[in-house]
Structure formats: structure tokens, C-alpha cells
Amino acid sequence: MCRVNEALSDYAEAVLSVVERIPAGKVLTYGDVADRIGTGGPRQVGRIMAVYGAAVAWWRVVRADGRLLVGHEQRAVRRYRREGTPLRCAVDAQAVRLDMTRARWRPDEEPVGERRSL
């Protein structure tokens, strides 16, 4: 197998592993996921999510500004409401955004008994 494909496979596995750990009602940004892995960046995570994201809770990986993924807004909002993810209305009161202050997952702030290792 080509070395590039092996690296992509390892990176994809790492991205999906982080995403699988995000609890219901919480989100991470693309950049947060890359930071937790320690390599790559938001664009690389976005590419992995575009290709392999259907296998995990894709709606829990979001843009840093809280805007919803274009073309997937309605499906994502249904899932956010079902999970109790904090939302807010945009300025025009028509669009919904994530309340990133409350929705962002910070495992280091969880009570010790509830922590999950990454």
C-alpha cells in the first residue's frame, strides 16, 4: 500500500476516534479535533469528515463561529434539539447557530468521575 494512503488512513482513524468521544449535547470545532490529535488542521479534519463522517456523529464537529453546515442545517438542528445542544438565533432570527460558549466540549472541565481519555 502507498505510504500516503497509510498516513491518510491513520489520520482518518484518529479524527473519527475523537469524534466518537464527543458526548451528546456537546460539539468540537474542526480545529479542536485537529488540536486533540496534535497534527493537521481544520481543513484536514473537514476533509476527513466529508469523506468518512457519516460513520460518526458528524453534527458534533462544527465551524468555530457556530454556523451550521450548509446543506445539512435541518438535519443537524433536529439532532441538536434531540440531544439538548445549546442553540441561539442569529441576528435575523431566521437562522440558528450553536451557542459555542455553552456547547463546546471541554473534557478537562468535566468532573473527574466523568472524564474520558483522548
**What residue segments make up the domains of the chain, in order of their start?**
3-106
83, burial (CB in 10 Å: exposed 0-12, middle 13-18, buried 19+): middle
One digit per residue, the tens of pLDDT, for the chain of length 118 reads: 334 455 458 999 999 999 999 999 999 999 999 999 999 999 999 999 999 999 999 999 999 999 998 889 889 999 999 999 999 986 654 678 999 999 999 988 665 444 444 4
Q: What is the CATH number of domain 3-106?
A: 1.10.10.10
Q: How open is the CA angle 30-38-68, to the nearest 5 degrees?
A: 5
53, burial (CB in 10 Å: exposed 0-12, middle 13-18, buried 19+): buried
